[in-house]
Structure formats: C-alpha cells, structure tokens
Amino acid sequence: MARVVVDVMPKPEILDPQGKAVLGALPRLGFDLVTDVRQGKRFELQVDGEITDAVLARIEEVAGTLLSNPVIEDFEVHVEEHSVAEVAQGAGR
C-alpha cells in the first residue's frame, strides 16, 4: 500500500487566527525563539496499488476540490513512505 500526503496551508495573505493564538501562547511557556506560526492541515491518504502520474493527478484533484479551498488555502502533494505515527514510533517518541 502506498501513501500520499497532502499538506494544506492558509495562503500567506489570509489571516490565520489559530496560528496567532498558538504564537501568543509560546512566550508564556518560555519559548521565545519562534517569531511566527501558521497552522495548516496534513492529510495522509492510503492508496491502492502503485502511485503513477495518473494517480497523483487524481489526488491533486481531490486536494483542490475537497481537501483545500483554493480561495483561502494552498496545497502540496507528495509521496511519503512513512506516516507521522510510524516516524514517531521509530524515533521512540
């Protein structure tokens, strides 16, 4: 089984109140190295069979119609072997 990841982020010119809230909380926790936070979404899609260009084109379509709203968000599609959970497990987190 193959995995395709879609990252969705608010466009730079769109206000991101959630990111702002997170940024506001950081100094209170003593983290003063972070100067900006933008919050987005990551989708991990399991795909049957091989990931061909045709499959990726279909995923781009999914990303542009349902997973993101092109009016306010940008997206990026890439193939990734491991899920975040697997990477975290491997790192012993």
Partner 1 sequence: MRVGVVTFPGSLDDVDARRAVSIGGNEAVALWHGDEDLKGVDAVVLPGGFSYGDYLRCGAISRFAPVMTSVIEAAGKGMPVLGICNGFQILCESHLLPGALIRNDHRRFVCVDQRLRMERVDTPWTSAYAPGQEVTIVLKNGEGGFVADEHTLDLLEGEGRVVARYLDGNPNGSLRDIAGISNERGNVVGLMPHPEHAVEDLTGPGTDGLGFFTSLVEHAFAGASA
- Of the pair 13, 53, the CB lying nearest partner 1 is at 13
Return the residues of window 28-57 that contact partner 1 according to CB under 8 A: none
Nearer to partner 1, 13 or 81 (CB): 13
CB neighbours of 19 closer than 8 A, spacing ≥ 6?
Answer: 10, 36, 37, 38, 39
The contact mask relative to partner 1 for 54-83 (x = CB under 8 A, - = no) is ------------xx-x-xx-----------
Binding site for partner 1 (CB under 8 A): 10, 13-15, 17-18, 20-21, 66-67, 69, 71-72
